[in-house]
Chains A and B, each alone.
Chain A
Amino acid sequence: MSEWGPAGKVIPKFEQKYGVKVQLLSAGDAGQVLNRAILEKKRPKADIVMGIDNNLLAKALDADVLEPYKSPNIYLIPDNLIFDKTYHVTPFDHGYFAIVYDSLRLKNPPRSMDDLLRPEYRDKIILEDPRTSSPGLGFLLWTIAVYREDRYLEFWEKLMPNILTITEGWDTAYGLFTSGEAPMVLSYTTSPAYHVKYENTTRYRAAIFREGNYRQIEGMGILKGAKNRAMAQKFLDFMVTEDFQGEIPLTNWMFPVNPRVKLPDSFKYAPEPDISLSLDTYQIQRNQERWIDGWLRVVTR
């Protein structure tokens, strides 16, 4: 994960503290990282795997690639963020998916999932493919959390005219959005903070939905057969402290899991919804393929 946001700041701190060298291996996005850990199960190259979120947890547990570890520092994390009570995965950041909109070009932003169906939004939304992108999957699960299994496809059918395009990954979608191709994109509630910090503009906003926004909690775990298990545990202990957590907001653009961290000013524009939605990880694991097949039938119609 050589390009992982906080790495440049937090890794040297850890290396200095314990006199070790941390090597980062990149394997693409979260889903790809887990796939690689599963492929390398018998002889893992890494000690720790990063980026397993609440949607991928069941897959990771079923694949049996992780060793449980309950850090003595776990008390620093609020209970509702500890998404794996078996402690195979320790959370390091969290965030909420949101429709991010350009307030200069969209005077009447959506306030609920239902609002997205308004006829005035024709061709105005850019989404990501749930098969290749984790925000894409997050949005699909979000629609299921709101409309349940029996009505989500009906929602997607009505949403189709308002979707400009569905891209493979978040980068393309967000790039098209900032170049003005459409005034709405699926991203995170923290995205506007980035524009505040680096472009000094509040023109991009995140919409908080009446039904709630879907939550993503990302964690890391120690791999079975890790060569440096003791040091890996130390890393997890360190990870939840303020030293590490304080770097999360401005480098990974997510919320830290440690509430003692003071959020930077730009995060005033990263709203936290009152209602946070998520689905049970085992329910996701069991049904994901079927849900995606149904989705595919609707969007290719």
Chain B
Amino acid sequence: MNQANIEVKHLKTPKTGGKDAALFLFPLIFLSIFFYFPLVSILNEGLTNETGKLTLSHIIRVFSDPYSLRVILFTVEQALLSTAASVLLGLPGAYLLARHDFRGKSIIKAITTVPFVLPSIIVVLGFVIFFGNNGVLNRSLMAAFSLENAPLKILYSMKAIILAHTFYNFPICIRLVSAVWSRVNPNIEKAAQSLGAKGFRLFFRVLLPQIMPGILAAAALIFIFCFTSFAVILVLGGGPKYSTLEVAIYRFALCTYI
């Protein structure tokens, strides 16, 4: 056993020649110049005062400013809600794709990749065209019930943000969770059923622990996407009241540096 381990290790670490080091150096230099250097210089600005001494005063100021705090809290809040809604909406889809064969399955699978390639500003425009006060939905309702004003106020609010994020991200949940779900052995559920587990108990005690890695991976990814969301917040959010960190930073940069 020990012998085998040592051998494996030996195999994994061949002598590093100069060529390999050079290969490693290339991406490292690239990353340093184009990523770490700008990142460190902006962090440096946040952590030093005018004379170049290290200070926490900027950070303390941000965290004691009610507006900044509000922005930070709102960012986390909307990201959590959007993630929860996306996962809940994605799970049934994941189940269908993992456990059932039907016509058009491959098309649906292909559609779930759309959020990865669709620019978010397109989603925003689509929302205005469909859910807007003068959008398809409101106009048909106004025509159907001969109303004067748009009956559904959906955009420019917290619900618009959650709705757009959910629409944008639930396919990610479908995709990641169905991949894990399809590898779950159905015989385990059958065994549990034969021992008397059913309904919620079967789902929460037997199935959920097995698909949990997929759910967590999807939730983490969706949370990050929503946390740094930009166009959706900018247009559908409805102004300063619903600003996220990303938007607040953009606004500040726009006024100060550009």
Contact = CB atoms under 8 A, between A and B. Distances in A.
Interface of A: 27-28, 31-32, 35-36, 39, 123, 127, 129, 131-132, 163-168, 172, 176, 179-182, 296-297, 299-301
Given A27-B258, A32-B254, 10 more contacts: A35-B257, A127-B239, A132-B255, A165-B156, A166-B238, A166-B239, A172-B234, A181-B128, A181-B134, A301-B241
B240 A172 contact: no
Contact of B128 (A163, A166, A168, A179): A179
B239 A129 contact: yes
B187 to A, nearest CB: 54
Nearest to A32: B258
Contacts of B251: 129, 131-132, 168
Top 3 A-B pairs ranked by shortest CB distance? A180-B134, A166-B239, A165-B156
B258 A179 contact: no
B239 A182 contact: no
B21 to A, nearest CB: 41
B146 to A, nearest CB: 16
Contact of B133 (A35, A166, A180): A180
A200 B234 CA distance: 32
Interface centre among A163, A165, A176, A182 (most CB of B within 10 A): A165
B240 A300 contact: yes
B201 interface: no
Given A168-B251, A176-B128, A28 B241 contact: no
B256 interface: yes
Nearest to B237: A165
Interface string B217-258: 000000000000000001101111100000000010011111
A129 B240 contact: yes
Contacts of B132: 179-181
A296 B128 contact: no
Q: For chain B, which range describes its interface: under 10, 10 to 19, 20 to 34, or 35 or more residues?
A: 20 to 34
Contacts of A172: 234-235
Interface of B: 67, 70, 128, 132-134, 153, 155-156, 234-235, 237-241, 251, 254-258
Contacts of B134: 179-181
A21 to B, nearest CB: 27
Given A123-B153, A163-B239, A165-B156, A296 B258 contact: no
B53 to A, nearest CB: 24
Contacts of B156: 164-165
Contacts of A166: 238-240
Contacts of B239: 127, 129, 163, 165-167, 299
Contacts of A300: 67, 70, 240-241
Contacts of A182: 133
B255 A131 contact: yes
A299 B243 CA distance: 11
Nearest to A122: B149
B238 A181 contact: no
28 contacts: A27-B258, A28-B258, A35-B255, A35-B257, A123-B153, A127-B239, A129-B239, A132-B254, A132-B255, A164-B133, A165-B155, A165-B237, A165-B238, A166-B238, A168-B234, A168-B251, A168-B254, A172-B234, A179-B132, A179-B134, A180-B132, A180-B134, A181-B128, A181-B133, A181-B155, A299-B239, A300-B241, A301-B241
Contacts of B128: 176, 179, 181
B128 to A, nearest CB: 7
Given A35-B256, A179-B128, A181-B132, A296 B240 contact: yes
Contacts of A164: 133, 156, 238
A234 to B, nearest CB: 30
A163 B237 CA distance: 13
Contacts of A297: 67
Contacts of B133: 123, 164, 180-182
Contacts of A168: 234, 251, 254
Nearest to B153: A123
Contacts of A36: 258
Nearest to B74: A300
Contacts of A176: 128
A246 to B, nearest CB: 33
B251 to A, nearest CB: 6
A31 B240 CA distance: 19
